[in-house]
Amino acid sequence: MSYKICITGDSWGCGEWTFTKEHGYTVTHFGLEHFFRYPIYGSNIASYQVVNVSRPGSDNLSSVTRLIPELEIQDFQFIFWFVSEPLRQIERSGLDGNVLDSFNRIGVDYQTISHISYDNILDWNSRFMIESLHKANELGKKIYCIGSTTKLDESLFNQFPNLVCYVPSLAEFLYNDFKHPKIWQSRWLDYIEDKLTVETLDKFVEDKKVQDSLHDKKYADLFFPDGQHPNRFGFKHLHDKIVKELF
């Protein structure tokens, strides 16, 4: 049977990453896309057509927006979205010149806040997540969501009939003993760090330890070589789950 598949998301949607002398930090295997393009299970599924609009560092709103022109020109039987940490919306607005825009959209008056608590961060994380889920749901297409740098809250998906919380945390799916940090840290922190309380920073340290633990040797078989993204073997596990359960 022939399937058209679309993949969107962040660097996890791009595949396996490592440092090379020739190209620096780069994709060395196209991950889920590769296994769809070059199936090894037989000729009966050898006709997958794949469009991958994932981009490294992508925030969730951008990942959803990139789907729009693709959906205008063709139909897909399956759409997979690697969902990144929602707080990247802060960085996106900062790069556009006004970090307040992202907070205004979720109903937060950031200018009046002098100290940012960990509870503030958890609340904003949820609000930004709901914002991007709304936008994805409005596309009117069934989208299978895979938590990459964020762990998806399955309870949020009840209000979005077009979205499937397929793999809440890819890291947790690959390793039963890994517990995804509540907050995944990246460049969005640069825009709010001057208002963080000491207590918030202490909790961030604990979250970061968990995040960086993917560099540990015990996770090397599926997260080597960079310790930040699944490698080709990790993506093979995800591919096998999808083929078994959905195709």
Going through the chain in order, the beta strands assigned E by DSSP cover 4-9, 16-20, 24-29, 49-52, 78-83, 143-147, 163-167
Task: Give CA separation, 70 vs 9, 37, 124, 198, 210, in Å.
Answer: 14, 18, 30, 45, 36
pTM of the shown model: 0.95
**In sequence order, which residues have a C-beta less than 8 Å from that of residue 110 and are 6 or more positions away?**
99, 100, 103, 104
Domains and CATH numbers, the chain: 4-246 (3.40.50)
Model pLDDT, residue 20: 78
Model pLDDT, residue 30: 96
> In percent, how much of the chain has pLDDT > 90?
87
Q: Considering only 18-22, 88-92, 121-125, 176-180, which range has the smallest mean pLDDT?
A: 18-22
Q: Which residues pair with 26 in a beta bridge?
A: 18
Model pLDDT, residue 47: 62
CA distance 149 to 151: 7
